[in-house]
C-alpha cells in the first residue's frame, strides 16, 4: 500500500513577510540500526475500544485519527471523502463532514483538526486555493478563511493563527511551511523550497499536536521539527542508514528517482506522538519485499530509546500508532488482526470486547510498555 497520494496544482504568486528558523539548537540524533529491539509481547493491552461499524462507515487500514476527551474522528486516507465520529466507548455518532454536491457538503477534503471548542475544522484545496471550514454542531459547513497558499495539511495555534504545509511543489509553493493569521493571510514563511525538478506534492499528515507542543514532519526529510513562539526548531534527526533518501532523488525527476529508490528501499518519518512521559516515532520503511514500520519509543524519564518492528504482510497489530494518552501508546488495528496475532491466553482476556459482528471492524488498543522488564 502506497502511503502517498500525488496530485497536480496550479501556479499562483505568494508573498511572505517574515521567517524565523533556529538552527543552533542541539538536536537528538538517532541511528535507527543501532537502537535496541523489543518484541510486541512487551506491550500489554490495557484497554480495548471496538468501533461500531456498519455498511455506512466501512474503512480501510490506512486511517487518519484525531481524538479529544469526548470523541474519536477517523478519515480513510485512501478515499478522503468523509470524517466519521465515534464516542470514547466506540459508539458511532455519524459522519461529521462529507465530500459531495450541494449545501452541507465539501468539494474536497484534505485534512482536519479538532479546535478548542471541540468542533471539527477541515482543509479543502480546490484549484489554486485552499479553504478552511468549521463544521457546526448541526452539521453546517461554515467558512473560516480562504488562502492563495496551496496547503495540503494544516494545524491551528493557541493564538488563533494557523500553520499550513504545501510540500515541495515548485514553482507553486516557494516555502514548504507558512503561518497564516485567522483570516488566511500569510504572515511568516519557513523551509525554503529549493527543489527545482518536477515533484508532485505529497498529501500526507505533517502536523502532530501533543498537548501544547506541535511537531512537524515531511516526506523525504529525516527531521522532527518543533514549532514554538514563532520559531521552527529541529529537535530530532534520524539516520536511516541504507534506507536514507539518496542524493540522486533531489537531482532527478520524481518519475525516475522514486522508482529507482523503491527498488532499493527507503525510510520516511510517518508520525510523532508524545506526552510528558513517552515519545513515539513512527517510521515507514518501504523495502522491495514489502512495507514495514519501525516504532521508536523514547522514555522521557530515563532517555532510554528502543524500537519495535512491524510489517504489513503478517504483523499489523501495532502497525498503526495513533497517539499517546496517560503514558499509554494507542494503536488502531482490526478485529481480524487481533484474532490472528494474539495468543490464546491474550485473546481470552479481551475476547468479550471484540465480539463477532456482520463486518470486520477497527479496534483501538491502549497499551503499556514494559520494555525494561
Examine the pLDDT at 171 and tell me if it is beyond 90.
no
Query: Could you give the percent of the chain with pLDDT greater than 70?
Result: 91
| pLDDT score for 17 | 38
At residue 183 the predicted structure's pLDDT band, cuts being 50, 70 and 90, is: very high
What is the strand order of the sheet 290-299 is part of?
36-38, 304-311, 290-299, 278-287, 266-274
| pLDDT score for 200 | 59
Query: Where along the chain do its domains lie?
Result: 28-369
At residue 102 the predicted structure's pLDDT band, cuts being 50, 70 and 90, is: confident
250-298 pLDDT, tens digit each: 888 877 888 899 999 999 999 999 999 999 999 999 999 999 999 999 9
Range in 17-31, 87-101, 113-127, 253-267 with the lowest mean pLDDT: 17-31
Examine the pLDDT at 20 and tell me if it is beyond 90.
no
| pLDDT score for 199 | 62
Examine the pLDDT at 52 and tell me if it is beyond 80.
yes
364 in Cβ contact with 330 (< 8 Å): yes
Burial 339-365 (b: 16+ CB within 10 A, else e): eebbeeeeeeebeebbeeeeeebbbbb
Examine the pLDDT at 14 and tell me if it is beyond 70.
no
Examine the pLDDT at 217 and tell me if it is beyond 60.
yes
| pLDDT score for 369 | 85
| pLDDT score for 103 | 87
| pLDDT score for 172 | 75
298-351 pLDDT, tens digit each: 999 898 999 999 999 889 999 999 999 999 999 999 999 999 999 999 999 999
296 in Cβ contact with 231 (< 8 Å): no
Element spanning 346, H or E: helix 344-350
Strands 36-38 and 304-311: parallel
In three-state secondary structure terms, 32 is helix
At residue 9 the predicted structure's pLDDT band, cuts being 50, 70 and 90, is: very low
At residue 15 the predicted structure's pLDDT band, cuts being 50, 70 and 90, is: very low
154 in Cβ contact with 113 (< 8 Å): yes
Examine the pLDDT at 13 and tell me if it is beyond 60.
no
DSSP 202: B
Assigned fold of 28-369: Neuraminidase (2.120.10)
Examine the pLDDT at 229 and tell me if it is beyond 70.
yes
At residue 198 the predicted structure's pLDDT band, cuts being 50, 70 and 90, is: low
Range in 10-14, 31-35, 47-51 with the lowest mean pLDDT: 10-14
Amino acid at each position: 500500500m502506497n502511503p502517498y497520494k500525488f496530485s497536480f496544482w496550479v501556479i499562483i504568486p505568494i508573498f511572505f513577510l517574515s521567517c524565523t528558523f533556529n538552527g543552533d539548537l542541539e538536536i537528538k540524533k538517532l541511528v535507527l540500526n543501532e537502537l535496541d529491539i523489543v518484541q510486541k509481547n512487551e506491550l500489554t493491552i490495557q484497554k480495548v475500544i471496538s468501533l461500531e461499524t456498519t455498511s455506512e462507515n466501512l474503512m480501510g487500514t490506512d486511517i487518519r485519527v484525531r481524538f479529544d476527551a469526548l470523541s474519536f474522528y477517523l478519515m480513510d486516507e485512501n478515499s478522503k471523502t468523509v470524517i466519521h465520529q465515534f464516542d470514547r466507548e466506540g459508539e458511532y455518532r455519524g459522519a461529521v463532514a462529507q465530500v459531495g454536491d450541494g449545501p452541507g457538503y465539501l468539494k474536497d477534503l484534505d485534512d482536519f483538526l479538532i479546535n478548542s471548542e471541540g468542533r471539527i475544522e477541515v482543509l479543502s484545496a480546490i484549484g489554486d486555493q485552499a479553504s478552511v471550514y468549521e463544521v457546526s454542531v448541526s452539521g453546517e459547513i461554515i467558512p473560516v478563511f480562504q488562502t492563495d497558499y496551496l496547503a495540503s495539511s494544516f494545524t491551528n495555534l493557541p493564538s488563533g493563527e494557523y500553520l499550513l504545509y504545501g510540500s515541495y511543489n515548485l514553482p507553486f509553493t516557494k516555502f514548504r511551511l507558512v503561518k497564516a493569521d485567522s483570516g488566511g493571510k500569510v504572515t511568516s514563511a519557513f523551509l525554503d523550497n529549493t527543489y527545482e525538478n518536477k515533484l508532485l506534492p505529497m498529501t500526507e499528515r505533517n502536523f502532530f499536536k501533543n498537548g501544547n507542543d506541535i511537531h512537524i514532519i515531511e516526506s523525504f526529510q529525516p527531521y522532527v521539527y518543533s514549532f514554538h513562539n514563532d520559531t521552527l526548531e529541529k529537535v530530532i534527526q534520524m539516520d536511516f542508514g541504507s534506507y536514507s533518501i539518496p542524493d540522486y532523488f533531489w537531482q532527478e525527476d520524481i518519475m525516475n528517482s522514486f522508482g529507482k529508490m523503491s527498488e532499493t528501499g527507503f525510510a520516511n518519518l510517518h508520525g510523532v506522538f508524545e506526552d510528558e512521559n513517552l515519545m513515539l516515532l513512527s517510521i515507514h520503511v518501504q523495502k522491495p519485499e514489502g512495507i514495514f514500520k519501525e516504532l521508536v519509543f523514547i522514555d522521557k524519564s530515563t532517555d532510554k530509546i528502543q524500537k519495535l518492528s512491524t510489517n504489513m504482510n503478517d504483523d499489523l497489530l501495532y502497525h498503526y500508532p495513533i497517539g499517546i494518552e496517560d503514558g499509554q501508546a494507542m494503536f488502531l488495528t482490526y478485529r481480524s488482526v487481533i484474532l490472528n496475532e494474539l495468543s490464546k491466553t491474550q485473546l481470552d482476556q479481551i475476547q468479550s470486547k471484540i465480539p463477532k459482528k456482520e463486518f470486520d471492524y477497527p479496534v483501538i488498543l491502549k497499551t503499556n510498555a514494559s520494555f525494561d522488564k
